[in-house]
């Protein structure tokens, strides 16, 4: 899709996440509303924002910043940060690293949606409805390899184009150059856009923003970091392929409801080869799963429901009854084959 303008729009946007996945959260406190008597409020707000940010790593090298979509778990970043590959690692605020694949990309907008292949981190950012020209702004920078928050200002509009020649006239620059994929934040910690890359238009004398000609794919690219607005991000997410979702967790058994000596559970009827169940030592016929994650079981459907609330790589704690005895089994879930 050709984008006529990358200027920061002020259209109302309820959330960065798609409507089906977004969950409302309490707004973060406005910095000006925080008094010296309650410094913990600002610290708490900043901590939540930083938990929503990841570093993007390709080939062991940090290439940019990504934003977790609130209540969704997928990550939005700049396509520049991902590069030509579809695979990247993301490092969360607690240091945990997860492999991802690019489920959706847009070279014109310089956007990429990363799908985690394991783990579940859903604390993310919502979109802002505020006018970026009238509020205090912040963005993220990388300090010692980790995102940190710094003040930012809109610098100027510039004429720019995508690398394929699509005109992006009216794009905004910031007064600092944030890393690829870094969000622009309003005072409430909501996202106004993210940092992406475009090509600055120049005339024959090299002056920026004075050329009236339409750039084409052969136009030289003088790289410039611009802000991709929420409106464009929402359009990008609306076109996300249906298969750009995290893999479903898998236990690897067939079971049936059973009652033995008044004890209810799910009798293991079959165990798939090389499955988490097999690696966890579950046995066909003799084993009856009576508790999963501390919750009593009476049907296979209930067990499937509990499994579905986990992510690939999570540990599922089971209580198994066999031969008149109970034993505890920890199973590491893997992606469904």
Q: What is the pLDDT of residue 156?
A: 87
Q: What is the pLDDT of residue 269?
A: 96
What SS3 string covers the chain? CCCCCCCCCCCCCCCCCCCCCCCCCCCCCCHHHCCCCCHHHHHHHHHHHHHCEEEEEECCEEEEEEEEECCCCCEEEEHHHHCCCCEEEEECCCCCEEEEEEEEEECCCCEEEEEECCCCCCCCECECCCCCCCCCEEEEEEECCEEEEEEECEEEEECEECCCCCECCCEEEECCCCCCCCEEECCCCCEEEEEEEEEECECCCCCECCCCCCCCCCCCCEEEEEEEEHHHHHHHHHCCCCCCCCCCEECCEEEEEEEECCEEEEEEEEECCCCHHHHCCCCCCCCEEEEECCEECCCHHHHHHHHHCCCCCCEEEEEEEECCEEEEEEEECEECC
Domains and CATH numbers, the chain: 31-238 (2.40.10.120), 249-335 (2.30.42.10)
Q: What is the pLDDT of residue 218?
A: 55
| Residue 249 in tokens | 């967790």
Band the pLDDT of 33: cuts 50, 70, 90.
very low
Band the pLDDT of 63: cuts 50, 70, 90.
very high
8 or 303, greater pLDDT: 303
Per residue in 6-20, pLDDT (tens digit) is: 333 322 233 343 333
- Which segment of 16-20, 80-84, 157-161, 237-241 scores lowest on mean pLDDT? 16-20
The C-alpha atoms of residue 277 and residue 330 are separated, in whole angstroms, by 9
Q: Is the pTM value of this prediction over 0.85?
A: no
Q: What is the pLDDT of residue 24?
A: 34
Per residue in 224-245, pLDDT (tens digit) is: 999 999 989 999 999 999 999 9
Question: CA neighbours within 13 Å on the CB side: how many for 102?
Answer: 22
Cβ-defined contacts of 214-220 (< 8 Å, 24+): 214/165, 214/167, 215/161, 215/165, 215/167, 216/165, 217/163, 217/164, 217/165, 218/165, 219/161, 219/165
Band the pLDDT of 165: cuts 50, 70, 90.
confident
Band the pLDDT of 168: cuts 50, 70, 90.
confident
Asked if the model's pLDDT at residue 70 lies above 80, the reply is yes
Per residue in 34-58, pLDDT (tens digit) is: 333 334 557 778 899 999 999 999 9
Per residue in 180-212, pLDDT (tens digit) is: 999 999 999 999 999 999 998 775 333 344 334
């Amino acid at each position: 899709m050709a984008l006529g303008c990358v200027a920061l729009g002020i259209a109302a946007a309820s959330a960065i996440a798609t409507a089906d996945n977004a969950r409302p959260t309490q707004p973060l406190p406005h910095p000006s509303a925080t008094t010296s008597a309650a410094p913990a409020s600002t610290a708490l707000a900043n901590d939540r924002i930083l938990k929503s940010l990841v570093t993007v790593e390709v080939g062991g090298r940090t290439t940019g910043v990504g934003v977790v979509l609130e209540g969704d778990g997928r990550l939005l970043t700049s396509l520049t940060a991902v590069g030509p590959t579809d695979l990247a690692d993301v490092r969360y605020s607690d240091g945990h690293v997860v492999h991802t694949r690019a489920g959706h990309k847009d070279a014109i907008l310089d956007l990429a949606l990363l799908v985690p292949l394991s783990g579940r981190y859903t604390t993310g950012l919502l979109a802002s409805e505020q006018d970026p020209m009238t509020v205090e702004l912040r963005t993220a920078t990388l300090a010692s390899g980790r995102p940190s928050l710094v003040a930012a200002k809109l610098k100027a509009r510039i004429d720019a184009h995508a690398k394929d020649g699509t005109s992006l006239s009216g794009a905004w620059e910031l007064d600092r150059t944030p890393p690829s994929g870094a969000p622009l934040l309003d005072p409430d910690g909501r996202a106004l856009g993210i940092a992406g890359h475009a090509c600055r238009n120049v005339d024959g004398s090299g002056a920026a923003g004075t050329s009236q000609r339409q750039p084409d794919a052969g136009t030289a690219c003088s790289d410039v970091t611009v802000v991709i607005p929420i409106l464009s991000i929402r359009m990008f997410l609306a076109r996300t392929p249906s298969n750009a979702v995290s893999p479903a967790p898998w236990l690897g058994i067939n079971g049936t409801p059973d009652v033995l000596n008044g004890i209810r559970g799910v009798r293991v009827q079959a165990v798939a080869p090389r499955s988490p169940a097999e690696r966890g030592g579950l046995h066909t016929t003799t084993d009856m799963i009576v508790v999963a994650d501390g919750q009593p079981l009476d049907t296979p459907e209930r067990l499937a429901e509990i499994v579905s609330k986990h992510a690939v790589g999570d540990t599922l704690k089971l209580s198994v009854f066999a031969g008149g005895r109970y034993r505890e089994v920890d199973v590491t879930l893997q992606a469904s084959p």
